[in-house]
């Protein structure tokens, strides 16, 4: 695979939409760090996306889909290739008509585009008195991002609600898959890298609107109490090791408040690295390594980042 380099002019001719050239990824990251991507494109529908993926394949140019940017870290040197942002039809939400033959008559099926914000979907479900997604209130990602990393909180995960998805592979082929075949495990699905979530149908349960609102509030309150939600971060930085908690281990290692440059281990929750204002991606990556080394020295446990570190391939 290669960078855009010699093909920038071809891309400008091929792509009819807007292109941001050499634009910093910090603007698309909740960490507010990250160097420039060679080109950033927004795509509005499946046909456009398919032709773009096929074009990138033809010229062997690397690409990354970025949703809300809430779980990514882009190095300061930037990315050689194309960043794709899904908007337009990829942000839609629709209620599917009830199927009289479905064995799950008590369920309601909602389809959302891969680029739709999870929070927008939570709000939609609340408005329709549909229960199931309350746990996700406060998770700041897109539907596609949430599915790729099987986002979860309070003992629940989005994977358990996924009825089916429409996907695109790295050749631009479109196919459907049932939720149960996506191999959801803790903070991960098992589809090949560079599989794009075009849309997902979630299985929800009709409920009582007041109770749904109350549950959403409760989860948001817990988040506000335990997590530094007002600061720039990517949520939990490390995955929890089996039967333990990354936050507890980092805390026990005495690292709360420890900082490198503008990157700091949150005083509120030790598994959050926060950008205190002027952090670089390098500060965050260096802090990540110190945490991994310290936790390994003290407890013999290797912490694995939950945050996806985007790097040149
Ligand atoms: N703890 C400490 N010190 C800390 C932080 C936590 O000792 O600084 C202890 C807590 O007292 C608790 C344990 O560690 O006994 C677990 O902490 P917490 O309840 O905050 O949950 P977590 O495992 O750190 C997970 C998810 C969060 C999710 C919460 C709530 C992971 C990596 N994180 O956090 O998800 O919101 O549960 O369900 O699985 C995210 O993925 O970005 C995220 C925020």
- Which pLDDT belongs to residue 1? 60
pLDDT at 2: 65
Which tens digits make up the pLDDT trace of 233-243?
999 999 999 99
Please write the tens of the pLDDT for every residue from 11-22: 999 999 999 999
What residue's CA is closest to ligand 1, atom 2? 248
Dihedral of CA atoms 265, 267, 272, 274 in degrees, nearest 10, equals -60
Answer yes or no: is the C-beta of 149 below 6 A from any ligand 1 atom: no
Q: Is residue 102 predicted with pLDDT exceeding 90?
A: no
Nearest residue (CA) to ligand 1, atom 40 = 236
Residue-wise pLDDT for 108-119, tens only, equals 999 999 999 999
pLDDT band for 4, please (50, 70, 90 cuts). confident
Q: Determine the pLDDT at residue 45.
A: 97
Check 131, 142, 236, 280 and give the catalytic one.
Answer: 236
The residue from 187, 233, 266, 280 that is catalytic is: 187
Ligand 1 atom, smallest distance to 135 CA? 38
Residue 5 corresponds to which tokens in the numbers above?
Answer: 């380099």
Confidence of residue 35 (pLDDT cuts 50, 70, 90): very high
CA of 287 to the centre of ligand 1 (A): 19
Which atom of ligand 1 is nearest to 270's Cα?
8
Q: Report residue 135: phi and psi, to 5°.
A: -60, -25
Determine if ligand 1 sits within 6 Å of the CB of residue 248.
yes
Give the chain's length. Answer: 313
What's the pTM? Answer: 0.95
- Which residue has a Cα nearest atom 29 of ligand 1? 153
Once rounded to an integer, what is the mean pLDDT over residues 106-130? 97
Label residues 23-48 b or e (16+ Cβ within 10 Å = b). Answer: bbbbebbbbbbbbbbbbbbbbeebeb
The residue whose two tokens read 């960490």 is: 31
Which SS3 state, helix, strand or coil, does residue 157 take? strand
Q: Does the annotation mark 51 as catalytic?
A: no
Tokens standing for residue 223: 């988040």
CB-ligand 1 contact for 245 (6 Å cutoff): yes
Q: Residue 105's pLDDT is what?
A: 63
**List of domains in the chain:** 5-86 (3.30.43.10), 91-225 (3.30.465.10), 228-309 (3.90.78.10)
Instruction: Indicate whether 103 pLDDT > 80.
Output: no
137 lines ligand 1 (CB under 6 A): no
Q: Is 38 one of the annotated active-site residues of the chain? A: no
User: What is the pLDDT, as a whole number, of residue 272?
Assistant: 98
How confident is the model at residue 92, as a pLDDT?
A: 98
- 306 is a catalytic site residue: yes
Q: What is the average per-residue pLDDT within 190-218?
A: 97
Q: Is ligand 1 within 6 A of the CB of residue 32? A: no
- pLDDT given at position 6: 84
Report CA(247)–ligand 1 centroid distance (Å). 6
pLDDT at position 100, please? 66
- By the 10 Å C-beta count (0-12 exposed, 13-18 middle, 19+ buried), 256 is classed as middle
Average pLDDT over residues 135-153: 96
Statement: residue 299 has pLDDT above 70? yes
Tens-place pLDDT, residues 279-292:
999 999 999 999 99
Query: What is the residue-averaged pLDDT of the chain?
Result: 95
Mean pLDDT of all residues in 260-272: 98
Q: Whole-angstrom Cα distance, residue 84 to residue 4? A: 14
């Amino acid at each position: 695979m290669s960078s855009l380099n010699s093909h920038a002019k071809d891309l400008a001719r091929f792509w009819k939409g807007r292109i941001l050239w050499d634009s910093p990824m910090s603007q698309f990251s909740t960490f507010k760090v990250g160097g420039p991507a060679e080109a950033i494109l927004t795509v509005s529908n499946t046909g456009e996306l398919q032709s773009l993926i096929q074009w990138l394949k033809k010229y062997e140019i690397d690409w990354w889909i970025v949703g809300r940017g809430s779980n990514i870290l882009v190095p300061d040197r930037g990315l050689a290739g194309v960043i794709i942002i899904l908007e337009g039809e990829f942000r839609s939400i629709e209620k599917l008509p009830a199927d009289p033959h479905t064995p799950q008559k008590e369920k309601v099926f909602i389809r959302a585009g891969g680029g739709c914000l999870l929070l927008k979907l939570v709000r939609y479900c609340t408005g329709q008195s549909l229960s199931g997604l309350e746990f996700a209130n406060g998770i700041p990602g897109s539907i596609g991002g949430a599915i790729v990393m099987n986002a979860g909180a309070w003992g629940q995960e989005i994977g358990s609600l996924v009825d089916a998805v429409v996907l695109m592979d790295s050749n631009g082929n479109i196919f459907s898959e049932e939720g149960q075949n996506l191999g959801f495990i803790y903070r991960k699905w098992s589809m090949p890298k560079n599989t794009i979530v075009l849309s997902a149908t979630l299985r929800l349960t009709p409920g009582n609107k007041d109770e749904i609102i109350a549950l959403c509030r409760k989860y948001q309150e817990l988040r506000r109490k335990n997590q530094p939600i007002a600061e720039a971060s990517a949520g939990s930085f490390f995955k929890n090791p089996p039967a333990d908690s990354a936050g507890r281990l980092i805390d026990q290692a005495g690292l709360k408040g420890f900082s490198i440059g503008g990157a700091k281990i949150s005083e509120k929750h030790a598994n959050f690295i926060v950008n205190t204002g002027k952090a670089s991606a390098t500060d965050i990556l260096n802090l990540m390594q110190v945490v991994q080394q310290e936790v390994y020295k003290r407890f013999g446990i290797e912490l694995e980042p939950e945050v996806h570190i985007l790097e040149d391939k």
